[in-house]
Amino acid sequence: MRILKNLLFPVVRIKKFYFLFFTIFIFQSLSAQQDSLYQDSVKVFDPIIISVTRTEKTLSSSPRSTSVITREQIENSAYTNVAELLNNEEGIYVVGAGQNPGNTQSIFTRGSNSNHTLIMIDGVRVTDPSSVNTASELSELPLTSIERIEIVRGSHSSVYGTSAIGGVINIITKKNISQGFHGYTEVKGGTLGKGTSLFQENVFLGLGTAKGFYLNGNIINLNVKGIDATADLPVPAGTFDPQDKDDFDKTDLALKAGYKTEKWDVFGSYRITRQRMDIDDAAFDDDDNAFIRFKRDHLTYGAAYNFSNHFTIQYSGGYSSMWRRILNDSSVSDFSGNYDKTFSENTNNGSLLVNDLLFKLAYTGFNASLGFGNYYETMNSKNYYYSNLFGPPAFITETNLDTLDLYSSIKHVFMISELNGTLINEKFSGISLMLAGRYNNHNLFGDNFTYSINPSYRFNEKSMLYFSYSTGFNAPSLYQLYNTDFFATGNKKLKPETSKTYEVGYKQYSDNVDFQVSAFNTDVNDQIQYVRLEDKTTALTTGNTYINISEMNTSGIEFNVEGRVSKKIVVSGNLSAVNGKLKYSSANIDTTQTGPNNDVFLNGQKITSTEVLTIGLSRRPAYIANFSFKYRPVEKLNFIVTSRFVSSRLDAYYDPIVFTTVNTTLENYSLTDFQINYFFNKNLTATFRVENIFDKLYYEIAGYNTRGRSAYLKLRFNF
């Protein structure tokens, strides 16, 4: 009953959205009866995706909540990064998508934590071991040279391993196997508000031969003169309160070569990312001399050979190295031009090596995949802090993890099978059962086994009802285990987070209407939290660290529909309703992780023996609704109006004046955007986009600004 209650709870709180989506649903029924005149309109796409079976399936035949952002959607948009695109998908909320490009962009899928969504490029994970929790930084991902973006929601640790508790996002890059020389160039310019500017240049070149060889390359340059990242608090007259604009510069270079025939699919790619961005000290605290430099070198490779229609061997892998430097070289502190006499430098670097070998069998009524592989990551951190604010003598602290040779590795074997009712009798062809299991051996945490059970029933070729139960796990990061900074001391006694997820869903695809709805419930145990420790006898802070303490539950409903009113009009919308809960008490504290003489504080509150149940999760809205109206009056012209509603969220920030964490609530907000595409001919396209038309003031993070009314113009020339 508890599971059913959690699945249905969000429904009672979405009355304000009933009218909108009931209208769309009625429209679905009507449009399905449209005259054959409309059957020639552009059909609802059903593209090939990499599904939970790690074999090619269409959206309508994949028994999980899935969606695809196509190449056409990406090329015809005026977005700057992947985060802005993903933010329109049901079940996904990206914090930072509405701030300065380059700001930290954290993805929350189905209310899960930011490191519970696995990001991949060409099937190879691109996590960041140099960061606090290894979560991928979306701002570094390019939005060009992409064939499609595949989204699979829900727990998939049995298929993809650690981190895949909330969902999996796979970015597929272009292969360009058509013969001849091809390419395009894009120029984009715009503004994020008064006194800001954005310019981006992009060139893609590709060559394909009749024998299946191809080579392509892509270079992107982005320069942003941004908004002031921090929000301003009222200050007394005459108080020195310097504010500066925060800029961002980025360069991406990507090369890919391969060979593709009916039997072979071999490729190798190399991507270089370089970024420089201005940052500020903290919430409501500006800084004119703080910067982050980031770089990643990313190599991916793969080979597949089809022995027959029944048997394929596939190998894929990748290597990444990343480097991040955070520098704060003192700031002006008063009207006389004095500086605060401090200097800090933090340098993190890491590497990631992934390899998988997969054997695939396919027969009528039976598919199976057997895979082996390894995951290996390293991390190092150097910190230096100098302050002469109250000196002499100056206060200096320095840490370096280099001599520890930190690494973690996971060896794994997994098997996925899909059984169809035709194995018994043809009349049971609509029934399928997908089973998956994965054995992991972690060098730090030993053995772990995850599995999923996924039955489904197809009413016909274009409609399906499915159910799934899956378990998952997420290993602590090397930073959380070994960091030696006083402000975030690592904890070697951490345990992996584990999860259990139930999901039920229905999907239907037709010439005029796509429809998908799903309900889910996820429990995460041993969740890792950042806490402050205080000596019980002296009440003095003894450090800040990470411990396994809380239990998190997320349950919700997702709804998505897209329908063709006519040849000229397409209407779509989605709704995500998530109920998030966090439960903890001192009874759940492992004193070997904290020390027996310490009190524990979470978000500024002392954890006692009384069990605390928090409704709502930090920075994660309970409701998100997106609506889109597309109108194409003539072949060359396209109008798009989109609206987005995000409900209120909890948040917290550190107040250096009172030396404690302050809890707050961020207000709900609604945004409306407008876009025009004009296709001069098959080679030249112009895209004009205005975001936040009504110049709404809103916040994604307490203490940090978001963009106001923004406008962009993009010109694209294909050759």
Residue 94: predicted pLDDT: 95
Tally of residues, the chain: 719
Residue 177: predicted pLDDT: 72
Mean pLDDT, the chain, rounded, equals 88
Residue 40: predicted pLDDT: 34
Regions of the chain short of the pLDDT cut 70: 1-53, 235-236, 656-659
3-state secondary structure 10-60: HHHHCHHHHHHHHHHHHHHHHHCCCCHHHHHCCCCCCCEEECCCCCEEEHH
Q: Give Cα separations from 553 to 113, 133, 461, 522 (angstroms).
A: 11, 20, 35, 6
Which class for 547: exposed (0-12), middle (13-18), buried (19 or more C-beta within 10 A)? buried
Residue 41: predicted pLDDT: 35
- CB 623, CB 644: distance < 8 Å: no
Radius of gyration of the chain (CA): 26
Q: Given its phi and psi angles, is residue 91 left (phi above 0), alpha (psi -120 to 50 degrees) or beta?
A: left
* CATH code for residues 2-232+247-492+503-718: 2.40.170.20
Written as six digits, the tokens of 297 are: 């070198």
pLDDT tens track for 220-234: 999 999 999 888 777
**Domain spans of the chain?**
2-232+247-492+503-718
Residue 550: predicted pLDDT: 93
- CB 142, CB 220: distance < 8 Å: yes
**Closest to 418 measured CA to CA, from 450, 456, 371:** 456
pTM, whole model, 2 decimals? 0.89
